[in-house]
Each structure stands twice: as C-alpha cells, then as structure tokens.
Structure 1
Amino acid sequence: MKFCAIIVVYLSACFIWEAAQGCQSIDQRFKFPNSDVYIRLHRGSKLQYELMKGSKSLQRVTLDNFITSSNLEATSTGNFKLSDGTTTIEFSLIMATNGITHLRVSRNQVLRATQPRDCFALATGYIHWYGGAEQKEHYWPVERQKYTNFSYVPKELGNMGVAERYWLNSEGFFLYVDKTTPLFIDQHAVGYEDQICISALISLPYDQRLETANFSYQLGIAKDAKAAHMYAVKTLLGKPTGYPDERMVQYPVWSTWALYKAEVTDEVVRDFAKQILDNGFKNSQLEIDDDWEDCYGALTFRKNKFPDAKKLTDDLKLLGFRVTLWIHPFINNNCTTIYETAKSSGFLVLDHEGSAHTQWWNSKPNDAAYLDFTKRTVQEWFTKRLKRLQTEDGIDSFKFDAGESSWVPKDPVLQGDAHELPLQITTDYLRTVATLGDMVEVRSAQSTQDLPIFVRIVDKDSEWGWNNGLVTLITSLLQMNLNGYPFVLPDMIGGNGYNERPPTKELFLRWLQANVFMPSLQFSFVPWNFDNETIQISKTFTELHADYTPYIMKLFKRSTESGEPVNAPLWWIAPNDAVAQIIYDGK
C-alpha cells in the first residue's frame, strides 16, 4: 500500500506539472545507481528526456527527428537505451559520487543524409549559460548568441579561434560534445527558439566520405556551476602543465602591428624601440609583425627592409629588448622556391582533387597553401626553420597567427582519425609551435588546454560595444578561462584601428584600465600619440600591473595545480548569486 501511495502521489504531481507546462504525458523514468539524478521520458510529437534531481527539473532535452521508439530498456552493461531497430541511443553512467553525476549520451550511428538533433532548453529567464565559442560579438552569459546550422570548428568566421565543445549553466549542469562528433549547432534559430541544439551531420567541413558518424556527448550535474566546472576540468578539459614567461606578465609586449601595419622596416623597428625608451616605458619584448619576410612563407628576412636582421636584434638586446616575430602557417604561390619545395615534399594540405589552393587575408583566392601539420614531417620541417631564425637571426620567440581549420582547402585530405577531422590540424599546429618555449603566443586552440603558452584573443576593433569592441575584451577573456585556457593574452590596447578608425584617447585609456588585471598588457597604439596626460596615466597603470605580477603568477601556478581560472567570472566567488551570474564587465 505504501508503494502504491508513492506512485499515485508521483503521477499526480507529474500531471499537474505537465498541465502547467503544456507538455506530453510521462512515459517512464530511470534512476541512476548511487545518484539522486534520474531520467524521465515524455511522449509527444517529439520524444523528450528530462534530467531530474529529486523533484527539480535540471534540463529537458528534445530528441528532434531522430527516433520513433519511446521505450526505455536496460542494457547488458547496466545502462539504459532507446532503440527503434535502426538507431539506438544509450544513456551511460560514467560516475556518480561526491555530489557529481556524470553521464554519456550516445547513438550507435549517424547515417549519411540524416541529422539527428538534441535540443537543450535555454530557459533564459532564470538559468544562464557560459562557455561555447569565442565570438566577434561575444555576449555573456552566452544564451544571447544566435546560430543556424553552424559548423562548430575553430574558424575565421566570427573570430572563432577558440571553440571548445563545452557549455556550462548556472544550475551546475554542463554539456560536453565529444570531438568525434561532426558537430553543428542551432541556437535561437527558426524552429528552435529558446534552445541550443547540437546535431551530427556528415558534411563539410567534416569528412564527408564517412559512411556513418558518431554522435555522443557528456552531461554533468553538480551542486553549482563552480563544482560542475571543476569536475569538467579534472575529467574532460584538462589543466596546463606549466605557465608562460613571467616577464611577459610583468612588462608590456610592444607590437608593430596596429601602429605600422605592414610598413615595418629596420628603421621603423629601431625608431619604435627608441620611442618606448625615450618615453620611460619598460618592455617584455618588441614584436615585429606583418611583412618582414621575403615572401609569405619564406621565413627569411627581406633584405631591402631588414638588411642585417642579426645586427638589428643584437642592437635591440643591448637596449634591453627581447625580439619576437609574427609567424603564420601559409605559403603563398609567388613564394616560388619554398612553395615548390613544400609541394614536392608533400607538405601542403591538398583537397581530394590534389589541389593545395586556398586563401588567407594576405593572398588572393587560390594563391596560397596551408602547411599540413597533421604530418610529423611537416612539424619537424617547420620547427627547424623557426629555430634557424632563433640561432642565425637572434629571434627570441614568436607570435603564431591563424591555425583555425577553416583556412584549409574546402575538402581537405588530412592525417589522423577521420572522425576527428578537421579539428586535428588546429591541435597539431598548436602542439608543434608550443615546443618553442614559454614566450610563445597563439590565437587558436583545440583540445590544447595543457599547453603552457599564451592564447591571444582574436583581433578586436577600436570600438566600445558588443561590435567586437572593448566590452568583448572582457567577455572573450571569461570564455577562454571557462574553456580551460587561463593564460590569455588580451588583444592590443585600444584595438587594432581597422577601417582607419584608431582609438580615441578615452577609449585607449579605458581599454588599458580594463586590461590591467588581465595576464598581460600589449601595446601597439602608443600613449605618446595622444598627449602627456595619456603618457602619465599609462605609466601609472602599467606600473600597477607590474606590481601585481607576483599575484598573477601565483594564479598561474594555481591553474597548473587545480585548473582554476586566472580571470574567473564574478559568480566564481558566489555561484548561486543571481546577480553575479549575469555580470559581464567585472562590476
């Protein structure tokens, strides 16, 4: 009688809840062993499963266009599955202990020309979401972002240099999509309003020759967002094995890029160094950016711009500078000698028709090629040429640009597990360049949270708002930290001045102030381009940043030990505070 009473009460409560929500009747429920989390199914036009903790709904997921069966069955391994004879979805318990429940949801296969979607309710009124991809218009929390059937790989579009497949919400729930899934996402798309949907599709930019694909993801449930994230760091994201150079934290990086663009020469670099010293500023290094090469991909100094690179670097070092160099993974076709060497050696990414033609921002269509870092021989060849720049030309380290998979030819042939392409080329590029020391900076990332290097925020515009301006400097910083990349190199103070729009004095100073307690300062537009007041204010804040270096390094070391963010969102100190959960600017 007692058991029956429990069932009656449960069904009555569910009936009331369903009536209020306008949803379908409840079909079944399954409680995971050693956990207070269970799944219940809902029948209707689309099958749904709901994760519950006690009487609390944690997440409702709609299984869009994928399966007709709604019968939950036990498996021989002690898990549960849904199957309609063709497709099977299995719910597996990975771990349940100490307040954490960790599940995997996986399908046995995704057939060609099908696109199963699982849609998660965003519940934007009271639950907030974090993580996701770096974006040009980078909102925080991220439930405001919009995507329509958007391929989820590191790519140029939207400044998506960091695109880990990880989302976390304020209720202590995380979603992690396995990298073998050819992932597309919809968020606030037509027909999927107030949802984020993950789907698997055998289509470009993934390997479109697969007969079947994987579709698997992991879910975590903890007491709050902080606990859930720290568990995800421990089990999925990983933590750094070391940390970047301390001098890059203490003193500014001075880059030629925003101020001089491609008009760099020996004389320009020397004059830039003189200006820095004459105005009383210190440095971690002087960075020579675009257009120093004989041709793009040569990795040799152009003599009419830099007659004696070794003398230049020697002279700069006598003045107290270290010298770093801008590097990219491309070879333009007109860089004939090195292009033909790379092509004949099989070092270029080819498409399935045998063409290496691609394009980047310093080439015309089909006038460039991308080095194939999924090949060990390419990694060794590229590294050897960079080390020559260090030993013969006196270069201390490098700023590595690009790396996103979108730069390869449209239908590439790459090495590695076909189910992990094209992600693999970004991973392999990063792991190659990270061997060159603790002063390395990169701008893309993919499953490389362990690397002890700076990850630079993709170029910001000299704007104030959400249009890739100052406010997104902070939100991109938070996103990187919650994707497991705590060593963030913020973009240049004041932005890049694209479209002939350099920063105003006020924007420049506000940018510097926002940047002070981030890991590093990077100048290109300079204080003395404004007035003496700007110089004095800039000195005050660069000195303040230097004073905090021991504390920043302490946080760096903590990240290597625990995986905690260096720059955490405000809710990190109060995970259940509703106001803190929506703060995006550190107020």
Structure 2
Amino acid sequence: MMRRLKPVLATVGMVLAGCAVAATTSSRATSLESTATESLLSVGASRAAPAFEVAIQRSPFRLVTRQHGKTVLQTTAAEPAAIDFDTASGLVGTTNVRDVTWQDGAVSIEVDTTDPGRRVRVRLAPEDDGYRLTAHVLGETQAKLDWVALHYDMPASGHWYGHGETKTRNGGPYTEQAWPLDRPGELGGRPLDTAFAPASYNMVEPFWFTQSSAGFVMHTTQLMTVSMGAYQDKVAGFAVHDTESLDASVFVGHTPRDVFGNYVALAGKPAESDATDVQYEKTVWNSWGQFYADVTQKDFLDWAQKIHEADIPSHTVSLDDGWMSHYGDFTFNEKFPEPKVMSDRIHAMGYHFGLWVTLWINLDADNYQLATNRGYLLKSKDDANVPCTVTWWNGKAGIVDLANPEARAWYLGELHALERNLGVDGFKFDTRFFDERCAPYTPDLTMRDYQRLGADMARGFDLQGMGIRTHWTGAQRDGFVIRQIDKGTGWDSLRSSVTQNLALATVGYPFLATDMIGGSLDQPPPSKQVLVRWAQVAAAMPVLYSSTSPRGYDEETVRLYREAVQLHGRLLPYILRQKDRAIAEGEPMMKPLFFEFPHDAAAYEITDEWLLGDSLLAAPVVADAKARHVHLPEGTWFDVTQRRTLRGPTDLRDYPADLDTLPLFVRMGTRDEAALMNAFQ
C-alpha cells in the first residue's frame, strides 16, 4: 500500500546560465506517495501542460517520467548509473535510494553510491512546464571532481532531437549530421562532443527533446561532454565538467512542439532579424568556396563580373580569407595591390562589398606585438602575465579580449577604418570570441558572457546576410542569421545541410542559411548536379548564401541556378511573414514535419523534407537521382510541379524530378494559400 505524504503547491525560482530569469510559480496540484520499491511524484495538469508523474525507483536508483501511464523520459539505472562522477580514485555511480522526503516544495532524495564515503542528493521541484532536477555530490572530497554526469535511456523516449550541430567521429558536423540524434549520421557517426560549451565553434545548445513530448535543458556555462549513444549504445550521457552539481529543467508537453516552446520561453525569441529585406530576397556571394585562401584581386573581380553578367539576383560580394598581410593585421597583402579600386568596382556593379575578419591575431602579425604590449589579448590560464596562445586552422594566435574596453575600442577602430577608407559595407566575422584554454578578463565572466560580448560587437555592423555563429541558451534573442558550419561538396554534405538546419531551427534559431551553396571545406568543386540541387534546397530556406559560380559550368547550370534564386525572390512576401512570426512567437521559419503533424509517425524519421512556414512543404532531390519518395501528411496539398491537388496522408513513390524540378507542395486551407498560389503562377 502506498503511503501518501502530502499534496502541495510548489513555488520555484530559476536561474539561467548565470543571468536572472523571472521566477516560475507552479500552482499544479502535487502529491508524493511511497512504497517499499518506489516513490511516486504526481503533478496535476496546468493550463498549458499535461499532468505527469515521476517514479523514483529505489533499487537501483532511477527516475522514470510518465504521461498518461506511458514512459516519456527515463534515466538509466546501472552500467551506467543514473548519475555518476569522476574522482581521483575512479568512477563513482549512484546505487540505491536511502531516503525520500518532501522539503520546501520539492522532493529530496538521498542516494548511496559505489563509494561508501559519498552520496548524491537529488531534488525534484515541480514547475509549470515540468520539474527542476538538481543533484549534488556529498561527502568528503579530497580533490575537485572532474565532472558529474546524468544518463538517459534513449529508446524509452522514441526519437531524440535538439543539440544543434553534431560532432561525430565520422565527419560531423562537416559532412554528416546525426538527426534524429538516436540514429547515427549518414557516415555512421554518433554524436560525441567532448568540448560541448558556449565557446565551441560548433552551434550547440544544452537542450534536447524527444518524440514522446519530453525534454530538458542543462543550466550551465561550463564545458560539457555529450554522448548520444557514442560511448554506450542507446545511452545519452551529459557530463558537466569542473563541478560537483547538476542542474536541469525537465519539460513535459502535449507535443514535441510544446517542449520546443518551453525552451524558447526560457531562452528567448529573437527581438529582430539582423538581415534586411533585400538580404532575404537575393543572395550574397562570398569568395571562400570559389577560391579558398588562394584568391587574388584580379580573380575576385573576374569572378564578380561573371556573376553579374549571369544576372543572378544578388546583393553583396564578399571577400573571404586570403587578403590580410598577416592574420590580425588589417592591411592587404601583395595579391591586392589596389583594394579601394576593388571596392569601387564591386559598388559600380550595384553590389555591397564585404570583408572576412577575425579576432585572432597570429604571432607573426605586426598587431600581435602591439596588442601584447597594450594588454589587448586574452591571458593564459596558467600565467596571467602572458597572452593565451591558441592553435587554429591558420596557425598560432592570440585573441582580442572583447571584455577589455580598450581592446574592444581598438578592434572596432580597425574595422571602422576599413569602412571609412575603403568603402567596406560590412563584415563576415569568423572564428570564436573566446577559447576555454584562456582566462576571462575578470574572474566573474563566463564563456557565455563572451558570446554576448561578441554578439554586441557584431550588432554594430552589417553582417550582409551571413550572420555570425553565436549560441547557447539566450543567444536566440539576438536574431542573427546563422550560417551553419562548413560543408563538403558532395551529396552527403548536401543532405547534412538540410538536417543540420532542421536541428538548428528546433533549438531556437529561425534565421538560417546552409553553408555556401555547393559546399566548401577545401574540397574540389561540386558536380553540376550537386550545385544545382543545393541551389534548389536553399531556395526553400530562409536565406541564400553563395560562392561557387555556376559560370564555371554550362549554360544550363547558370539558368537553373538563376531560376532557384528567382524562385526564392518570388517567395519573399511569404518568407518575410515567417520572419515576422519568428520575432513575434519564436516559431521556426523552417521546421520538421512533426512540428505540425505530431501524430504522423512517419514524420519523425523524414530527414529530407521540411515545412517553410506552415504552408509550404519542400521535398528537394538530395541524391544523384531523377526521382524521389515524397510523404505528404494529412490535409489537402497542391502539387506545384504537376499542377494537381492531393489528399494526405499519402506517399508518392518515385515522384519524377529531373534536374530542373524542385518538388514543392502548398498546404491548402491555410491563410497563406492564396499568396503562395500567386507566387507559383
């Protein structure tokens, strides 16, 4: 027989990544009942969220979250333990529950471990959208713990999503993206990131959600190690380094879209979009994928002129890496004898002119000694008297410390001089704003704070539709276009660019571009088919980002590339409405089918279709083929290519799609039906 302890009304406060967040008050009816084998925390329904329960299993310790009697989230119990941590004498894990009590509006759980001298205190506090889960290691500690980890049983929740760009052992996030996260990427890699942190160059978020309409966010600004089945099959592990505690909010919703909404409510929705209307309408050209760093002034201008002659709607031509005399010196090398002439030529064609820049100053740069002498660089963690030296793809460097007001003013002065003297209209900011091997300007600053400093700095410039790569809970508010990490130039990278944007959209970043159309990554140029199909993929996404010129191929390639960009332009009124909705509601501009159709089981495994807004379904060809399978969810759909109306749910086998065909379907009966049908006349 269960022993009922007491019903309660819980009031809980929240802190997000070091910054205050409005307190969450839960008025949900709550009770705790116990037997010899488990305690059951029951939480009643709220206006926005369903009722749920958490079973606290005693031997071994495990947390099982259920909704309507069905498990939606479940920790492991053993091998690995639900919670484990690293000590000087080895790995220690939770074993059996010693005691369960109700204290101060929350369930307090004392759990024994494999080390008799240590216990873990777990606390579950009901909240309006789920519950707060905290854990703290207790006992005599000879040395600081390296990490504390929480483990979940992945199959118990169906498919997993969130995370952002997935680092894998097989090429992720560059040539593969594991999505859903419980399945390996196309090349066989499972997500494994040992540097999952705000300072990462990868776009990552400490938020995960599941097909079963549950999810959670880790509240930390520390370095994490995240494994989605990479260390142990079917086990998701989340280790927070340099701590003795874990802090997470667990969400329970009616649908996966609800759980995403819980995270957006916490992280914030964009206050604005940094891209202008014309940057949504036309494409930006950046020289990287065309030349890499082997670009010259002559080559750059010839490339721009041929793009201009191809009459492809464009707004900016941007010079990427390869122009600096040394990395960190804002002077042009001998390959660019007349930079002002180059800028003027681009302007004469009717485009804005952009430049690639970095905060990283190489040791051989003239500015390195200047910045060192003036104390402008981040300091070493080991020796505060010397700059922090980091290795990147262009050598060894120091990093301008944006938290130092004098360093920031100097760096901004260099950029403004380029604008003033050469007519530079905007910048592509590359590399990171901080490195975890460095020390912050003051001890109270975190890696997340440096993301904020970078965002604040970049906001003062035209980012020309290429945006920046800032992330971690709260960065969603900035509203930057997010360009995904470099891709290769093959079919695998094209497919990964689709799933990676779906991953980024569903952690709160609505304004997205793929890597430059056709890819890059120092690989040979894409085939004609990859380039055209990539342009078609990008046409049904929020923002276009180009590099490889179709003029290097045949006239059909030029025509099909142009048509893809023109199609995107015809969709501009619809795209801008989705942009405004993202600002007002936090709704993704592009999203997986299951966001709109949560009861469509097939939608959870589709990786090459998406919705742009609520009303346009894109199903591009992303393989060397002239046909594909198309899944249409429930409702009435207009087939743009074949000019017919279809009733879903239905599966179109071997849908014909020659190189000049982008399969698109308009969802009938929505408010945007008329506008879309007009665009496709």
Does the CA-based 8 Å contact 2:196-2:226 persist in structure 1?
yes
Equivalent residue, structure 2, for 1:434: 459
Q: Which amino acid aligns with 2:511?
A: F
Equivalent residue, structure 1, for 2:83: 64
- Give the structure with the larger helix fraction: 1
Match 1:93 to one of 94, 113, 126: 126
Equivalent residue, structure 1, for 2:153: 121
Measured after TM superposition, the shift of residue 49 of structure 1 is: 1.1
Measured after TM superposition, the shift of residue 457 of structure 1 is: 0.9
- Looking at structure 2, the residues matched to 375 and 104 of structure 1 have their Cα atoms a distance apart, in angstroms, of 36
Match 2:578 to one of 549, 555, 561: 555
Instruction: Say yes or no: does 1:176 pair with 2:220.
Output: no
Match 1:414 to one of 440, 444, 452: 440
Q: Secondary structure at the match of 1:113?
A: coil
Match 2:324 to one of 293, 298, 317: 293
Equivalent residue, structure 2, for 1:495: 519
User: Residues 147 and 249 of structure 1: is their aligned pair in 2 closer, same or farther, counting only changes over 3 Å?
Assistant: closer
Q: Which amino acid aligns with 2:410?
A: W
Q: Which amino acid aligns with 1:47?
A: F
Instruction: Say yes or no: does 1:359 pair with 2:391.
Output: yes
Measured after TM superposition, the shift of residue 384 of structure 1 is: 2.5
Question: RMSD of aligned C-alpha atoms?
Answer: 2.7
- Looking at structure 1, the residues matched to 206 and 400 of structure 2 have their Cα atoms a distance apart, in angstroms, of 25
Q: How does 1:336-355 map to 2 (within 5 A)?
A: 336=366, 338-351=367-380, 352-353=382-383, 354-355=386-387
Equivalent residue, structure 2, for 1:9: none
Q: How does 1:65-464 map to 2 (within 5 A)?
A: 65=84, 66-67=93-94, 69-75=97-103, 77-83=104-110, 87-95=120-128, 101-108=129-136, 112-113=144-145, 115-123=147-155, 127-135=158-166, 136=173, 137-145=176-184, 146-147=190-191, 150-153=194-197, 161-190=202-231, 192-202=232-242, 212-302=243-333, 304-336=334-366, 338-351=367-380, 352-353=382-383, 354-363=386-395, 367-403=396-432, 405=434, 408=435, 411-415=437-441, 421-437=446-462, 439=464, 441-446=467-472, 447-464=474-491
Equivalent residue, structure 2, for 1:519: 542
After superposition, the C-alpha distances for 1:410-459 in whole angstroms (9 at most, x for unaligned) are 632114566x7434333422332122246362134334111132111111
Q: Which amino acid aligns with 1:325?
A: L
Q: Secondary structure at the match of 2:266?
A: helix
Measured after TM superposition, the shift of residue 288 of structure 1 is: 0.5
TM-score (ref. length: structure 1): 0.85
Q: Where in structure 1 are there 5+ consecutive unaligned residues?
A: 7-23, 96-100, 203-211
Q: Which amino acid aligns with 2:133?
A: V
Instruction: Say yes or no: does 1:41 pair with 2:56.
Output: yes
Q: Which amino acid aligns with 1:505?
A: K
- Looking at structure 2, the residues matched to 528 and 25 of structure 1 have their Cα atoms a distance apart, in angstroms, of 74
Identity across the alignment (%)? 22
Does the CA-based 8 Å contact 2:267-2:477 persist in structure 1?
no
Does the CA-based 8 Å contact 1:147-1:186 persist in structure 2?
yes
Instruction: Say yes or no: does 1:539 pair with 2:565.
Output: no
- Looking at structure 1, the residues matched to 471 and 67 of structure 2 have their Cα atoms a distance apart, in angstroms, of 35
Q: Secondary structure at the match of 1:220?
A: strand
User: Residues 177 and 162 of structure 1: is their aligned pair in 2 closer, same or farther, counting only changes over 3 Å?
Assistant: same
- Looking at structure 2, the residues matched to 377 and 141 of structure 1 have their Cα atoms a distance apart, in angstroms, of 45
Does the CA-based 8 Å contact 1:180-1:215 persist in structure 2?
no
User: Relative to structure 2, which stretch is displaced further, 135-144 or 554-563?
Assistant: 135-144
Q: Which amino acid aligns with 2:214?
A: F
User: Residues 529 and 34 of structure 1: is their aligned pair in 2 closer, same or farther, counting only changes over 3 Å?
Assistant: closer
- Looking at structure 2, the residues matched to 489 and 25 of structure 1 have their Cα atoms a distance apart, in angstroms, of 54
Measured after TM superposition, the shift of residue 521 of structure 1 is: 2.1
Q: Which amino acid aligns with 1:568?
A: K
Equivalent residue, structure 2, for 1:15: none
Q: Which amino acid aligns with 1:442?
A: I
Measured after TM superposition, the shift of residue 275 of structure 1 is: 0.7
Does the CA-based 8 Å contact 2:221-2:447 persist in structure 1?
no
Measured after TM superposition, the shift of residue 239 of structure 1 is: 3.1
Q: Which amino acid aligns with 1:511?
A: W
Q: Which amino acid aligns with 2:196?
A: Y
Measured after TM superposition, the shift of residue 174 of structure 1 is: 1.5
User: Relative to structure 2, which stretch is displaced further, 526-535 or 304-313?
Assistant: 304-313
User: Residues 543 and 54 of structure 1: is their aligned pair in 2 closer, same or farther, counting only changes over 3 Å?
Assistant: closer
Does the CA-based 8 Å contact 1:431-1:448 persist in structure 2?
no
- Looking at structure 2, the residues matched to 435 and 458 of structure 1 have their Cα atoms a distance apart, in angstroms, of 23
Instruction: Say yes or no: does 1:472 pair with 2:496.
Output: yes
Q: Secondary structure at the match of 1:164?
A: strand
User: Residues 92 and 312 of structure 1: is their aligned pair in 2 closer, same or farther, counting only changes over 3 Å?
Assistant: same
Q: Secondary structure at the match of 1:72?
A: strand
Measured after TM superposition, the shift of residue 91 of structure 1 is: 0.9
User: Residues 317 and 476 of structure 1: is their aligned pair in 2 closer, same or farther, counting only changes over 3 Å?
Assistant: same
Match 2:588 to one of 544, 565, 583: 565
Does the CA-based 8 Å contact 1:445-1:455 persist in structure 2?
no
Equivalent residue, structure 1, for 2:27: none
Does the CA-based 8 Å contact 2:292-2:321 persist in structure 1?
yes
Aligned length: 535
Match 1:528 to one of 529, 534, 551: 551
Q: Secondary structure at the match of 1:381?
A: helix
User: Residues 495 and 148 of structure 1: is their aligned pair in 2 closer, same or farther, counting only changes over 3 Å?
Assistant: closer
Measured after TM superposition, the shift of residue 193 of structure 1 is: 2.3
Measured after TM superposition, the shift of residue 357 of structure 1 is: 1.8
- Looking at structure 2, the residues matched to 5 and 448 of structure 1 have their Cα atoms a distance apart, in angstroms, of 45
- Looking at structure 2, the residues matched to 537 and 55 of structure 1 have their Cα atoms a distance apart, in angstroms, of 53
Measured after TM superposition, the shift of residue 5 of structure 1 is: 13
Instruction: Say yes or no: does 1:509 pair with 2:532.
Output: yes
After superposition, the C-alpha distances for 1:300-355 in whole angstroms (9 at most, x for unaligned) are 333x333343333233212201001111121011112x111211222212222234
Q: Which amino acid aligns with 1:309?
A: P
Q: Which amino acid aligns with 1:30?
A: L
Does the CA-based 8 Å contact 2:181-2:228 persist in structure 1?
no
Q: Which amino acid aligns with 2:130?
A: H
Measured after TM superposition, the shift of residue 181 of structure 1 is: 4.7
- Looking at structure 2, the residues matched to 48 and 166 of structure 1 have their Cα atoms a distance apart, in angstroms, of 21
Q: Secondary structure at the match of 1:449?
A: helix
Q: Secondary structure at the match of 2:590?
A: coil
- Looking at structure 1, the residues matched to 182 and 531 of structure 2 have their Cα atoms a distance apart, in angstroms, of 30
Equivalent residue, structure 1, for 2:69: 55
Does the CA-based 8 Å contact 1:251-1:282 persist in structure 2?
yes
User: Residues 426 and 26 of structure 1: is their aligned pair in 2 closer, same or farther, counting only changes over 3 Å?
Assistant: same
Measured after TM superposition, the shift of residue 293 of structure 1 is: 1.6
Q: Secondary structure at the match of 1:258?
A: helix
Measured after TM superposition, the shift of residue 473 of structure 1 is: 0.6
User: Residues 295 and 438 of structure 1: is their aligned pair in 2 closer, same or farther, counting only changes over 3 Å?
Assistant: closer
- Give the structure with the larger strand fraction: 2
- Looking at structure 1, the residues matched to 546 and 219 of structure 2 have their Cα atoms a distance apart, in angstroms, of 38
